[in-house]
Amino acid sequence: MMVGMTEPAIRPARPRVLGPVVDDMTRCVHYRTEVDIVAIRFACCGEYYPCHLCHEETADHPAEQWPLAERDREAVLCGACGGELTIAAYLETTDCPACGSRFNDRCRLHTHLYFQTEG
């Protein structure tokens, strides 16, 4: 098991993912390719959403970014295995450390919407 990953088998159930989810791998109406399998826990509410657009359309509050100081928080859910990654672990990988499922590389274009960035 990689650092920054929790063991999916010890969790009683997958976290709930809100918004217009189209399958049990966390894909949504906005992003639903084979590799769109992550959901982000939003700093503002602690709830998982598949993407920033899902949060914008369904939450009753504006989104907030995770501060740099909280990179050790579990805030990314792998839709394939249900494992949760810390922000730091997610930002350092292109696939799930627990199950090996590939994440969408283009999600990096939206990193600033979820997490504060340096600079």
Beta strand 74-78 pairing with 84-86: antiparallel
Q: For position 115, what pLDDT does the model report? A: 98
Q: Which two tokens stand for residue 12?
A: 């009683």
How do residues 83-99 score in pLDDT, each as one tens digit? Answer: 999 999 999 999 999 99
Q: What is the pTM of this model?
A: 0.88
Q: Which two tokens stand for residue 86?
A: 């810390």
pLDDT over threshold 70, residue 53: yes
Confidence of residue 13 (pLDDT cuts 50, 70, 90): confident
Q: For position 116, what pLDDT does the model report? A: 96
Percentage of the chain beyond pLDDT 70 is 89
